[in-house]
Chains A and B, each alone.
Chain A
Amino acid sequence: MNDESQIKLQAYLDGELPAGEAAEVRQWLARDAEARALLAELQNTNAALAGHEAEVKLPESREFFWSKIEREIGRQSAAEAPARKSFWARWGWRGLVPAGGFAAVCLLALHLANPGAASAEFVPELELASDDMGAYTYRNQEDGLTMIWLYDRTGEAKSGQPALMASSTP
């Protein structure tokens, strides 16, 4: 039996042959014991596989697996938005120095005019040193915790960031 015949036999079993060719294969099977034996083997293998795929379960808890998905969805959504940059970051760190003197005088003027103004509501600030970095801020009202999650916006999370941990252990 040549290769082409064997493949045709398989296609017949899988219902992938046009009607005319399928009829030819049936006639061939009727007269060829070797072909019938091969077909039986293929049918047995099919039957063995059908419905007997190993039942495997994802080896992580529902909450844990979901927390990773949720995080990645959030990270990718944020990566599509323009990076948040404060006004000062656009000036760069050194730009703060000459501006600082003028700002101090303005603050003083405000303070002297209205002593309460300088203790106005505290506004959190975050500045990132690189355009490749991004950050999420989460606030938990219950325990008052603020979490700032820093990530590599280029997606090369493990290699792009300055190392804060050596390899996989600190």
Chain B
Amino acid sequence: MKTDASQSSANDEQLVAAARQGDMGAFEELVARHRDKIYARAFSMMRNEDEAVDLSQEAWVKSWQRLNQFQGESSFGTWVTRIVINLCLDQLRKRKRQRTESIEEMDEESGGVERQMPAVTVNPTERLERGELRKKIDAALGHLSHEHRTVLVLHEFEEMEYKEIARTMECSIGTVMSRLFYARRKMAALLADLKTEELR
């Protein structure tokens, strides 16, 4: 599908308006502009490239179908991000129903040993170049369970409030707070290179 120069220079609002009239070229331009961001969000939650590609593709198809529901209260990119987040959560819930929760996971849910851990005093951003820090953060996120990673991603990267996270994840605010606390403490330990069972 070829898009013309006028679409490349149009802003998102104009493209959305055109797409609503059935202009697939305009929608394709929107996809091109925001595809990496949507994929990145899916990947941060699923930690699997193929799944992230599939879910972000599904998010785009849904956003086309629901274009008339987009009211402009948030940016278009944010709106599609919310769609992919919900798709990821649906997928994670489906997966959770299919497996038995391990004892480790139940312990993790309650906070486990991290609640009792003394505070980490090393600042993880010191001495690290930005690219290195990004890699470390990404690696550390991979060590979290889906629930803990999700709550951290939604709070820290999507800047959602507790109430909104609770609604999105279909759990109580207390559960959000508990999971977030655990996730942060675990991240602190991982980033500080503490030698624990989980790091090996």
Contacts and interface: CB of A to CB of B under 8 A. Distances in A.
21 contacts: A10-B177, A11-B162, A16-B161, A41-B120, A42-B184, A46-B184, A48-B191, A49-B137, A49-B187, A52-B130, A52-B133, A56-B40, A57-B39, A58-B35, A58-B56, A60-B53, A65-B31, A67-B1, A68-B57, A69-B61, A73-B61
A45 B121 contact: no
Interface in B177-191: 177-178, 180-181, 184-185, 187-188, 191
Contact of B123 (A6, A37, A44, A67): A44
Contacts of B23: none
A42 B123 CA distance: 10
Interface residues of A, number: 40
A7 B181 contact: yes
Interface stretch (B6-14, B87-95, B151-159): B151-159
Contact of B177 (A7, A48, A70, A72): A7
Interface in B33-86: 35-36, 38-40, 43-44, 49, 53, 56-58, 60-61, 64-65
Interface residues of B, number: 51
A6 B111 CA distance: 11
Interface of B: 1, 24, 28, 31-32, 35-36, 38-40, 43-44, 49, 53, 56-58, 60-61, 64-65, 111, 115, 118-121, 123-125, 130, 133-135, 137-138, 152, 155-157, 161-162, 177-178, 180-181, 184-185, 187-188, 191
A38 interface: yes
B140 to A, nearest CB: 9
A66 B28 contact: yes
A50 B155 CA distance: 10
Contacts of B157: 49, 53
A14 interface: yes
Contacts of B53: 58-60, 65
Contacts of A67: 1
B39 A56 contact: yes
Interface of A: 3, 6-7, 10-11, 14, 16, 34, 37-38, 40-42, 44-50, 52-60, 62-63, 65-70, 72-73, 76
Contact of B134 (A3, A11, A52): A52
B65 A34 contact: no
Contact of A65 (B35, B178, B181, B187): B35
* Top 5 A-B pairs, shortest CB-CB distance: A37-B119, A54-B138, A58-B39, A41-B119, A49-B156
Contact of A45 (B35, B39, B43, B188): B188
Which secondary structure dominates chain B's binding surface?
helix
Contacts of B39: 56-58
Contacts of B188: 41-42, 44-45
B65 A44 contact: no
Given A14-B162, A45-B187, A56 B1 contact: no
A76 B36 contact: no
A41 B44 contact: no
A133 to B, nearest CB: 21
Given A48-B137, A58-B53, A62-B32, A14 B155 contact: yes
B45 to A, nearest CB: 12
A49 B103 CA distance: 29
Contacts of A62: 32, 35
